[in-house]
Chains A and B, each alone.
Chain A
Amino acid sequence: MSASTNSVPNSSTGSKKSLKAFSDDIWKNKTAKINAELFTLTYGSIVSQLCTDYERDFVKVNNQLFLMGYNIGMRLIEDFLARTALPRCESLAKTSEVVSKCAFKIFLNVTPQVGNWSSSQDAFSLFLDENPLSDFVELPMDAAKELWYSNILCGVLKGALEMVQMDCDVFFTSDVLKGDQTTELRVKLNRVLKDEIPAGED
C-alpha cells in the first residue's frame, strides 16, 4: 500500500480524497441507478444458463464469462470516460486508484481495496469485500473447485484497459465463494501499447 503512494509523487492525501469525493458525487448525483438485486439475479441467470449450456464444464464457463466481460469492457470504457472525463493515468498506481475508487464506485457502488503490489510495480490486486455479482450465491459442490463465479469482472477490466492502450492480464486468485478468506483479483500490466495511443496526447 505504501508503495502505491510513493510512486505517485503528485498525489498527496488531499488529492486522494478528492478522487473519492469526485466519484461519490458522480455516483450520487449524476448516475441513473437500478435495483442491485435485479443485477445480481440477472448475472446469476447468465451463469447458471452457461453451466447448463456447457454441461457443467466450468473451465469453458470461465472462458465464456471472461469473453463476455471483454466485450463489455470494450464498450463500458466509453461510458466511463464520457462520465468522468478523467485524463490518462500517468502510472499504474494511479490506474489502480481510478479503477478501485472511481470505476467500481460509479458502476457497482463498491470500492475494492488495492494492495499486494509486485516488487516491480507492474501488478496489483483488488480485494473485493463486497461483490454485487455474487450476493446470495453459494456454489454447488461440483462448481466450487473450478468455477470463478465473477470471472466476467476480469474480462471487463481486460477489455476496458486494453481500450486505453494497456495490455494487462486480469484473473482471480481467490474467491470467498470457494471458501477463501478474501476475494482477490489480480491485474498485471504487460505493456503499454504506445503505437495505439491517439496522436495529440501529452
Chain B
Amino acid sequence: MKQKIINPSTSVNTATHPGSTGYDYTMGPQQTLPDLPVSSGTIAASGTNGGSSTAASAHTSLPSVYNGSLHPHAHNQHVSLAAFAFLFQELISQARNASKSVSEIEMRLHRNGYHIGIRLLELLNFRSSVSPGFGSTSSSRAFFSKTSINSSSNTLALNNALTTTQDEPSLAQGISHMKRRDLKPVEILQFIHSTVWTYLFGRVSDDLVKSSERDNEYMLVDSAPMLSQFISSTNVQCDFFVCGIIEGILDSASFPCNVTIHSVPEPNFQQRAVFVVRFEQQVLEREALRA
C-alpha cells in the first residue's frame, strides 16, 4: 500500500500526504489540480448534489501554493519601501558581522541576490508572454461569467466552484504563444534593462551600453539605485545584491558571466552606479558559431 514506487504528480493520495506538512524534496513538489477540491470525499459531494459551497470551503481550508495564481495582481502588489529597506539593512548587518573582509560581505550579498535571480527568469519570461490587456481584473471577470453562462447545467456547479475558489484566472489562459528564449547576449541584456528593471524598481534602467574596449563586456547604468538609496557611501558596495540578481538571471539563461558594480557619481546623481556584465568566453564562442 505505502510503497512509493511511482508517484504521479497529479494524483496524490491525500490520506498518506495530508495537505501541507511540507514537500519531500526527494520526490519534489506534489501537485494537486488547482480546480478540483483536494479531498476525494468532497469531489463526490460536489459531483452529486452540485454543492459548490462545500467544495469551496474544503478548498480554502487546505491552501496550497500550487493553487495560487501567478498573476501579479493575485497578491499584494506592494509593500513599503521602508519595510524593504529595513530588511535590506539587516541583511547587510548580518553579512558584515559574519565577514572578515569587504569582499566577503559583498560576496554574501551577491549570493543572496543570486538566489533571487535564478527564480526570476522563468517567472518574468512567463509573465511577459501574456498578451497585453489580459488579466486586468474586469476582463478576467467577464471571461469567467461568460463561460459559466455558456456551459451546460451539469458543469455549471463545477465552474462556479472554480470561479469562487480562484480569485484570479490562470495566467496561462492569456498566453497564445510563449515568448521565445533570448539567444543573443544583447537580447537578454535588453530583457534585464527593461523587463527585469521594471519588475524590480518600477522603471527601466537608465542605459545599456557595450564596452568599446572589451568584446564580452556590457554596462547597465542606474543613476539612482533604489535599494541602496538610504545607505551613505562606504567602501562596501551594497548593490552587489543586485549584481547577484542579474548574474542569477543570466546564469539560468545559459549566459555564464560575472557581474560587478562600480559607482560613477555625476553632479546630479551622486549615487549613480554602473553594473558591468562580463560574459565568459564560451558565450562569445557560441555567438560566433551562430553567426
Interface residues of A (CB under 8 A from B): 27, 31-39, 41-46, 48-49, 68, 71-72, 75-76, 79, 83, 106-110, 130, 132, 135-144, 152, 176-179, 181
Contacts and interface: CB of A to CB of B under 8 A. Distances in A.
Contact of A110 (B61, B76, B84, B116): B76
B20 A35 contact: no
A44 to B, nearest CB: 8
Nearest to B19: A179
A72 B201 CA distance: 23
A110 B226 CA distance: 23
Given A110-B76, A135-B75, A179-B19, A42 B112 contact: yes
Given A32-B82, A45-B116, A76-B82, A138 B200 contact: no
B76 A41 contact: no
Contacts of A34: 78-81, 84, 201-202, 226
Contacts of A107: 79-80, 82-83
Interface in B100-119: 111-113, 115-116, 119
B236 to A, nearest CB: 18
Given A46-B91, A109-B78, A140 B22 contact: yes
Interface stretch (B23-31, B131-139, B144-152, B274-282): B23-31
Contacts of B153: none
A77 B93 CA distance: 18
B90 A68 contact: yes
15 contacts: A33-B80, A36-B79, A39-B87, A41-B116, A42-B88, A42-B112, A42-B116, A45-B112, A48-B115, A49-B111, A49-B115, A76-B82, A132-B75, A136-B68, A141-B23
Contacts of B155: none
A39 B84 contact: yes
Contacts of A144: 20-22
B270 interface: no
Given A138-B23, A176-B63, A179-B21, A42 B111 contact: no
B288 interface: no
Given A42-B88, A76-B83, A141-B23, 12 more contacts: A34-B79, A34-B84, A36-B79, A39-B84, A41-B120, A42-B112, A68-B90, A132-B76, A136-B65, A140-B25, A144-B21, A179-B20
Contact of A72 (B75, B90, B202): B90
A141 B21 contact: yes
A109 B80 contact: yes
